[in-house]
């Protein structure tokens, strides 16, 4: 079967069928929970634009069986942590269920040869979290979990209380926040996460605080943690979040080690849910690395994973 599949450059005439294929997948894997954004099931405007550009830039390939489109794949190239990398976001691929394995293997074989020829050894790919078949296909190719994109409804009730005070941050708290954010950078850099994050200057933090959604937890006069939510202004085709949704991003959430596991994270999150609800926000998005041992447990309690980004490193001496 795999020998009969032909890989060619994708054509503008493939777009409408590719969009239908993508939406079938979304319907199958991303509509099972009320937290998942409905927007992408109904609207294909952004996706159509995305595919058009990819076809023009010749970074889109199509898999055909007996002249019928059975899958497509497009990608972005960029430096990731200093390494030449390719990234295939969730919108950038789909295949018909019937020929899923054959289509994806043929597509990846074709594009990855081109990537390796150009010394691009870091391959990243976002798939629907609930697509266990594709996960298994990619696992056998050598991909492993990296990041999860998850969603929650702001109206969900988070119950619980803790002994610490939580207050919305103001400009008077910038020095305190700076110190905590630096602590969080140390945490991200450490094992087993090994994530290098850029520094936030006090000016950056002032802007984030002025935007409204930073909450700091206090034990007396001692700041022990924070959480940050912002409100999105646009639909984001890469993480599939939507305009006017809550985003837990930028400085995220951090609690000092000795205060973890006592309900404070939950209480900070309750403040975020209340803040979003009182601002008319329905859905909230978060992403987190699966190698973040705390985050990987914490977010799954309140958020529903929708996308899974996986990563494969190809042997770097292949072109020697």
Ligand X SMILES: CC(C)(COP(=O)(O)OP(=O)(O)OC[C@H]1O[C@@H](n2cnc3c(N)ncnc32)[C@H](O)[C@@H]1OP(=O)(O)O)[C@@H](O)C(=O)NCCC(=O)NCCS
* Per-residue mark of binding to ligand X, 148-187 (x: CB under 6 A): ---------------------------------------x
* Per-residue mark of binding to ligand X, 244-263 (x: CB under 6 A): --------xxxx----xxxx
Beta bridge partners of 80: 83
CB of 227 to ligand X, least distance (A): 8
CB 106 within 8 A of CB 4: no
Q: Is 288 in the site for ligand X (CB under 6 A)?
A: yes
CB of 149 to ligand X, least distance (A): 12
* Per-residue mark of binding to ligand X, 294-313 (x: CB under 6 A): xx-xx--x------------
CA distance 172 to 163: 23
CB closer to ligand X, 12 vs 155: 155
CB closer to ligand X, 266 vs 282: 266
Beta bridge partners of 144: 311
CB of 280 to ligand X, least distance (A): 25
Q: Is 146 in the site for ligand X (CB under 6 A)?
A: no
CB 190 within 8 A of CB 155: no
CB of 222 to ligand X, least distance (A): 16
Half-sphere exposure of 116 (CA within 13 A, CB side): 15
Q: What is the 3-state secondary structure (H, E, C) of 138-201?
A: HHHHCCEEEEEEEEEECCCCCCCCCCCEEEECCHHHHHHHHHHHHHHHHHHHCCCCCCCCCCCC
Beta bridge partners of 283: 153
Nearest-CB residue for ligand X: 265
Which residue from 264, 281, 284, 306 is in contact with ligand X, where contact means CB under 6 A?
A: 264
**The two structure tokens encoding residue 25:** 């997948």
**Chain contacts with ligand X (rule: CB under 6 A):** 187, 252-255, 260-266, 288, 292, 294-295, 297-298, 301
């Amino acid at each position: 079967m795999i020998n009969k599949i032909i890989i060619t450059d994708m054509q503008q005439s493939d777009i409408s069928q590719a969009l239908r294929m993508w939406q079938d997948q979304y319907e199958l894997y991303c509509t099972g929970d009320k937290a998942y954004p409905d927007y992408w099931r109904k609207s294909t405007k952004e996706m159509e634009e995305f595919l058009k550009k990819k076809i023009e830039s010749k970074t889109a390939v199509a898999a055909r069986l007996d002249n019928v489109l059975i899958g497509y794949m497009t990608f972005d190239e960029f430096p990731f942590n200093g390494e030449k990398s390719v990234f295939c976001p969730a919108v950038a691929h789909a295949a018909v269920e019937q020929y899923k394995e054959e289509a994806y293997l043929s597509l990846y074989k074709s594009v990855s040869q081109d990537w390796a020829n150009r010394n691009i050894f870091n391959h990243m790919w976002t798939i629907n979290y609930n697509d266990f078949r594709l996960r298994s296909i990619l696992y056998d190719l050598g991909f492993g979990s990296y990041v999860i994109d998850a969603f929650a409804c702001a109206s969900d009730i988070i119950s619980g209380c803790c002994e610490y005070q939580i207050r919305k941050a103001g400009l008077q708290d910038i020095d305190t926040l700076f110190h905590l954010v630096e602590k969080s950078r140390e945490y991200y850099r450490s094992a087993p996460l090994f994530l290098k994050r850029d520094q936030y200057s006090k000016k950056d933090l002032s802007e984030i605080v002025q935007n409204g959604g930073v909450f700091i937890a206090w034990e007396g006069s001692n700041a022990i943690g924070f959480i940050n939510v912002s409100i999105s202004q646009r639909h984001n085709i890469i993480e599939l979040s939507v305009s006017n949704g809550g985003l837990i991003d930028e400085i995220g959430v951090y609690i000092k080690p000795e205060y973890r596991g006592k309900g404070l994270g939950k209480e900070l999150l309750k403040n975020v849910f209340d803040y979003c609800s009182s601002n008319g926000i329905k859905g909230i998005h978060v992403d987190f690395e699966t190698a973040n041992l705390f985050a990987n447990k914490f977010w799954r309690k309140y958020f529903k994973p929708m996308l899974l980004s996986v990563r494969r490193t190809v042997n770097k001496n292949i072109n020697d």
